Structure 1
């Protein structure tokens, strides 16, 4: 959204985690939406991205930017004032990243190509967060700890997603309105743990409460 005072609005953030990818994944892609407003494009327009070092904690080996990005020309519908495109930034796994609970921050800024400008200050930049672990989901509260899944750990959550809930359907609404479905997912996870004993996290053997 536009800031009431130019330059005061925070940049959009894209949060990416290697947690949700298969073990051994070394590179993932963060998708960033870019917007164009103005006269209809008659040709593709190249532009770039640059890293703002003072807002970045990621090291050079933890990301890659393309030398050039392209905003693709397309017809506008009647009354349409802007169009969107999506570009990708490559994020690399490092040994350092594995030890950082909050991950690293990459701040990028649009670099205009020939014949175009950039918009308001706060809409020129985007923040990409790259991490190795997943943030604890909001639905995994004290009640879920006591009645369903037990103590949270990122290792337990990853195993739960991989072997019981690959579509990540578990949420607060399911727990409150369809507890039978939530219990079913936990039972499926429990059956997998029984069939695959010895699973451990930082707290010891992984178990569920139900």
Structure 2
């Protein structure tokens, strides 16, 4: 029943994302005007770069949430993972939907985080960091493998530590969009990410403390 509930929630997320994509046309600079086409974000814009990179960033958070679901029975951890999976899958659908509406590809020849200015990406702009971690806060392949093998309290602590790093990187990226993106709806979504993930960071710090652990 638990698995069925998560799958059903995923289907609802897809429907919600479709509605969010439509709003992007009504609220952003892509609004109705004869010359609106010229205002669609370009391939190298911060709007497009953020949409691409955050979609990838969110995908890993969803993956980690599904992994911990099967590694623990703790209701608090499972509830947090459920919320993260639902929220970030929804937002990912919106980001990819905007790229579709703008006529832009999901992938780019630019390096991850190349759209960020002023070095706000923690030094990751312009190159790929080791072991498969493409962007700030993302877990490496080795860390994902460790999470998949852990159980109980050990899995809970590792998940909270990895997700804490992930959220910190996500906040940096989202703030970059707030500062640099031109589409109003996308900036609003990014600000919502900042607010929500900062709140979850406080919750995860408390959950780690309950387990006699702390962020890395």
The verdict on a shared fold, with TM-score over 0.5 as the criterion, is no
Higher helix share: 2
Q: TM-score, normalised by structure 1?
A: 0.25
TM normalised by structure 2 equals: 0.24
Which protein has the bigger strand share?
1
